[in-house]
Amino acid sequence: MRKIILLLVLITSISSCKKEVEKTVTPPKKIKPKPVFKYGYNTDDYTLIQDTIRSGESFGEILDRHHVGYPKINEISTSIREEFDVRRLRAGKPYLILSSKDTLEEAKVFIYKNSVINATVIDFKDSIIKTHVYEQPIKTVERIVEGVIYSNLSNTMDSLHLSPSLTYAVADIYAWTLDFYKLQKGDSFKLVFEEKFIKDSLFAGYGNIKSAVFSHNGTSLLAFRYVSDSKLGIPEYYDENGNMLRSQFLKSPIKFQYRISSRYNLRRRIAYYGNKIKPHKGTDFAAKIGTPILATASGTVVESTRRGGNGKFVKIQHNSTYSTQYLHMRNQNVKKGQYVKQGDVIGYVGMTGNTGGPHVCYRFWKHGKQVDPFKEKLPSAEPLKKTLLPEYLEFIKPLKYQLENKILPVKEPEVIERIAQN
C-alpha cells in the first residue's frame, strides 16, 4: 500500500512539472518577411508576369492580352511618345508586367528591359501616366589584363575570355597608329579597364579603357584616356608625351579582320586583264562579304553609285586637298550629299564589278591625283595645349605605374586578375 501511495505522489509531481514547463515555454514569434522591391515597386502589391517580346508582337497586343483596353493603350502610347516610342519594341527583349492581385490581373506597370543595366518603366496604374528610365545600381571594378599575339588581336582577346566589344574598343583606340594587319607573333599588350557588375556578381558590360600599351616591333605604343576640355567633356587618347593618337585618317577602312591582298602599284600585272601591265592605284583589303567598311575620315559623300569595273562604290570629299573612294561594295550605306564622320559605316564588303574575291579597293586622292596613302605624311590631330601638358603628365603618372607594375593601386581591396598568354 505504501508503495502505491509513493507511486501516485511521483506521477502527480511529474505531471505538475510538465504543466509548469508548458506554461513557461512561449512559441516563437512569426517574423514578417521584408518586402522585395523590383524597379522601385513592392512586389507584394502586384502579380509579376515576365515574358519576352515575340517577333511581330506590338505593345498594344501585349497590354490587350493583359486586360488593358485599346482606348487606354492609345492614351498610354500618345502620352509617352516623346520619351519612349512603343513602336520600337525589339523582338527577343525581356519585359516585366506588374498586374493587379485580383482574379482579373489587369496590367498596371509595363517594364521594358533595354539592357541588363537599365529599363524603361511605364506606369499607368493611376490617371496620370508616367514613364522613366530605371538604372540598376552598378559597381565598377578596375581590371588589368595582358596578352601576347599568337595570330591576331581578335583571337588573343577571345582566348582571354574578353568580349568582342572590348576588342573593338581597343581597335578604335589604335586605329590611327597601329596597322593590325602588320601585327607580329610575340607582340604584346596590357590594358587597364573597367568592368561593371550588378549586385557584385552579375556582369553588366565594360566601362572605360583607362590606359593601354601595345608593344609592336620593339616599340611601346602607350595610350591614356584624358578629357582636355572639361566643358565639352569629350575624352581622347594621348601618348606619354601628350600627342593625340587620333589623326585625320584611319589606317584602314576595315577595323582589323582583313589582309592586304594587293597594294598601290603602277606596274602591276593583272591576271583578269590577260596578265598585262595595268596600274593599280588603290590598296585592296580582303575581308569576308558583309564586313563593314568605314569612312577613314569625315567628309561629304560626293558619289554613291555603281559603275563598270568599280562595281558599287562610295567616294568622299574630305576637304579641298583629300578625297577617298571605296570600291566593289556589296551595297552602300550612305547617299550622295550625306555628311559622314570618321569611323561611320559607309558600306559592306562585296564582289561587285571586276574582282576575283571579296575585298574593298581603297583609293586615295591628294589635290585630285591618286596617291599611295601609306607613303604620304598625313595630317595628325592637334596635340594637347602646352598649358595643359604639366597637368596631363601628372595625371598619367599613376596610370603608367599601373601598366609598368601590372598592379592596381587602390584604397580598398579589390580582386586583381592578371592573365598572361604564353
Q: How many CB atoms lie within 10 A of CB 74?
A: 11
Main-chain dihedrals φ then ψ at residue 260, nearest 5 degrees: -85, 110
For the chain, what is the radius of gyration of the CA atoms? 33
Categorize the per-residue pLDDT at 416 as very low, low, confident or very high, splitting at 50, 70 and 90: very low
What is the residue type of 88?
R
Which helix (H) or strand (E) is 181 found in, with range? none
- Cα end-to-end distance, the chain, whole Å: 96
Q: What is the dihedral of CA 262, 268, 270, 271, to 10 degrees?
A: -100
- All three cell numbers of 84, joined, read 519612349
Helix count and strand count (H, E) for the chain: 7, 24
Q: Flag whether pLDDT at 100 surpasses 90.
A: yes
Q: Which of 74, 391, 69, 39 lies closest to 242, judged by CA?
A: 391
Indicate the pairing of strand 299-307 with strand 359-366: unpaired
- All three cell numbers of 352, joined, read 561587285
- Give residue limits of the domains in the chain: 37-135, 139-247+387-405, 259-375
**Cβ(89)–Cβ(112) under 8 Å?**
yes
Region of 186 (left: φ > 0; alpha: ψ -120 to 50; beta: rest) is left
Architecture, CATH, for domain 259-375 = Distorted Sandwich (2.70)
Average of per-residue pLDDT across 247-273? 75
pLDDT of residue 8: 56
- All three cell numbers of 320, joined, read 579641298
pLDDT of residue 392: 93
d(CA 377, CA 382): 15
pTM > 0.75: no
Mean pLDDT, the chain, rounded, equals 85
Q: The dihedral of CA 91, 93, 97, 103: what is its sign?
A: positive
d(CA 196, CA 206): 6
Angle at 399 between CA 396 and CA 404, to 5 degrees: 120
Topology agreement, domain 37-135 and domain 259-375: no
* More confident call, 144 vs 264: 144
Q: Flag whether pLDDT at 16 surpasses 60.
A: no
The model's pLDDT over 309-326, given as tens digits with 9 standing for 90+, comes to 899 999 999 888 889 999
Average of per-residue pLDDT across 369-392? 84
Main-chain dihedrals φ then ψ at residue 414, nearest 5 degrees: -140, 155
Domain 139-247+387-405 of CATH type 3.10.450.350: yes
Categorize the per-residue pLDDT at 336 as very low, low, confident or very high, splitting at 50, 70 and 90: very high
Q: Which of 151, 148, 129, 150 lies closest to 84, judged by CA?
A: 129
- All three cell numbers of 348, joined, read 559592306
Of all residues in the chain, the percent with pLDDT exceeding 70 is: 85
Domain 37-135 of CATH type 3.10.450.350: yes
Locate the DSSP E strands across 136-255.
Answer: 138-148, 188-198, 202-216, 219-227, 235-238
